[in-house]
């Protein structure tokens, strides 16, 4: 049996400003046992800027609705990076969980619909089945989310 550890008990390497590095997304994620200091990140971080335009909730949203950059100018679409992650995922079976942090830099467009915007974007430009949402931690509906999380963190297979 492969060694397993509960997700909340691990320490892992992360990449900050993952879009602004010399290494590609795939290089940042790929673990090399002979060179563990290179790659092997289990977390990526992207700074996003919103460019609001009409969208249809849960159905359609423009690629350039969210752009990735540190300053808000230039950069590529978040969809571009999500495609790279998804491509790496399909080429790398049985990889550990990858934490993706999205740092929202812009406040234009308000906050009241942001959850619909980001949810629609992720549904349209990523694979919803690959997103681990907090409600998946709830195994016992008679317990609170906190009580579920304390005893029900997912276990991951170590490298």
Per domain, the residue ranges of the chain are 12-132
Q: How high is the pLDDT of residue 152?
A: 59
Of all residues in the chain, the percent with pLDDT exceeding 70 is 91
With bands split at pLDDT 50, 70 and 90, how would you rate the model's confidence at 1? low
SS3 category, 87:
helix
Q: How high is the pLDDT of residue 8?
A: 72
Of all residues in the chain, the percent with pLDDT exceeding 90 is 47
Sort residue 74 into left (φ over 0), alpha (ψ -120 to 50) or beta.
left
Residues 80-113: tens digit of each pLDDT: 999 999 999 999 988 888 999 999 887 777 778 8
With bands split at pLDDT 50, 70 and 90, how would you rate the model's confidence at 153? low
Q: How high is the pLDDT of residue 62?
A: 92
| Mean pLDDT calculated for residue range 71-77 | 86
pTM given for the model: 0.85
Contact 137, 149 (CB under 8 A): yes
DSSP letter at 32?
-
The CATH superfamily of 12-132 is: Phosphatidylinositol (PI) phosphodiesterase (3.20.20.190)
With bands split at pLDDT 50, 70 and 90, how would you rate the model's confidence at 145? confident
């Amino acid at each position: 049996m492969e060694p397993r550890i509960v997700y909340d008990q691990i320490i892992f390497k992360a990449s900050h400003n993952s879009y602004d590095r010399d290494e590609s997304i795939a290089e940042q994620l790929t673990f090399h046992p002979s060179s563990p200091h290179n790659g092997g990140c289990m977390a990526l971080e992207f700074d996003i800027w919103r460019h609001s335009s009409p969208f249809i909730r849960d159905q359609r949203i423009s690629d350039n609705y969210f752009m990735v950059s540190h300053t808000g100018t230039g950069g590529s679409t978040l969809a571009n990076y999500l495609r790279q992650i998804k491509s790496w995922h399909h080429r790398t079976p049985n990889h550990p969980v990858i934490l993706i942090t999205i740092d929202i830099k812009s406040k234009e467009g308000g906050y009241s619909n942001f959850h619909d915007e980001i949810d629609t974007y992720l549904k349209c430009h990523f694979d919803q089945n690959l997103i681990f949402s907090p409600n998946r931690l709830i195994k016992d509906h008679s317990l609170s989310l906190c009580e579920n999380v304390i005893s029900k963190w997912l276990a991951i297979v170590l490298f």
